[in-house]
Structure 1
């Protein structure tokens, strides 16, 4: 059920994004004849009065199609309601609406969380530090035998205890011990294991073992004091999350070699979401908001086949006073789409082979 919940989150976010494009077009009277989730061969479709709705085989996004790109369309080329006949501003609104929809949706998710679940009010700490994810099977943690879901109870024989300080203690010990063996006592289900990990030095001088670490405990919530508090805290959480994600993208660009291994595809995202849903269903709210903001930022990047790439073409058109040749735009977009799908398939294969269940098949 937790895996299905994580898959549903991704599907909802794709629908939200494409609905943004679709509604921005339809509300302006612009023709939109296709609304597809996924790419490639059609698995299911429904023909509406103006639009074909479809689910396709490759689940790496979706698209809204326009008659401008349909050779079988019988709409005259000079029809003012074709997308390419609209002013630059109208087209920019349609192109950017998916990004805006994902950002608005993320805020609404936080709003829903604080309204239904409550306002976060501390953590009921349990002994140790939780390892929600081992980032790579080639990391020091994986080589030491640490698995996602483990709880680190002690470091070098010293119990970490039940407090927020446990996380700080473990992180400091790891960061200060490059190429030095650390003995860990780990809780896995009803068993305790003694494992030894050797942190590897990072580019910033701090050692790492290739895991995410969270305080071990269950979050506590309180009822909101009023509707204004809900709106205010949702805005603050949205801003905090947005800034943190942007900083992550900046780090990816400026320190690609160190951070590239943490880039996740659909399989890894589903795995992370399933783990969160299994431990605390309420954590699906921030998970959904984080993925929605990530989807918005990725799409606004000025890369071919993404919304940012199309906005770049519009900017060039505005500066030149005329659009670039259609053939050039099509070639750039098709090349970008192939590269994007290739990257998606690579991430799916890489993340699938790193799944614990997959690893056991070859042990």
Structure 2
């Protein structure tokens, strides 16, 4: 399959862009209980029944993975018919599915246009199987605004935020493809692991985008993912990574109870200004203070600091000692990430001996410092490699869409 081509041919500058096809009916997949209740109310369900009916839908959609209203056997036939007339249970379209030699799976998902002036958007989602657990890396935005120099996603402009339902739908698609539903057999064509147990056990918001620039949707998505009668991913199994949007960090902890990860990568402001440009707005001292006051942080709930190893840039013994000093007193663990190359990248990965020496300094200071094994490099699914081909609609295209209406 090919990616959706949202660029225009040089000889077609004056040709009107086709209006995108909009879904005739909205999908209920990924909605919070409150949003499900609103949907039920809109089709005439009495207020006294809304809480119960929303609970039923939540169970069928997010615990059993229902793909048809007819599967909802404890919902009346008349209500099922009414719901089917107004809504769907559609998931995002899988444009491509790639499977790495190490078992990592990457899905490129196409999301419907949100209105007549918008086009379909694409995001990437990655599943990483490990011994005893499986981690799903989800995206929170189409593109990104942060332009971190080592990250491929940062070379794609921000197109839009994802809705909470679109974030949750990434987990729904993964469970569909893995046959990972409670009480149900794997659907036809699913790629099912054979090691037993639940396949998706952990969620990390480390895909495309900066989660704290879309915090309302991230919060609502976590609510759905953590619902014990639905998707059932415990909040301590959900980690949100930020590059340092300091004003939103406390709110993240208070409203979601999620684990916190910091995309750090440098211990000096002058270097971090280059590697992670948001540092110019919220420098390291402010970031560290926000970490020290993060709600719920403790030795039992340590903050993860991610540190990508860039050859000759941030990987010296002096950098390791400065990192230890910077984190003194914080309940922290440090993930050292070998840099994952991508076309046109200005960086190279540190030598393995350099990474080991860096890790040893950190470890001797009393911090866990695992070196993250690169996963899915052969399908560009590793940390920092995600990028879709969706582009922001240019003004000229937008005018053409308005004319087509």
Structure whose residues are more often helix by fraction: 1
Structure whose residues are more often strand by fraction: 1
TM-score by length of 2: 0.24
TM-score by length of 1: 0.26
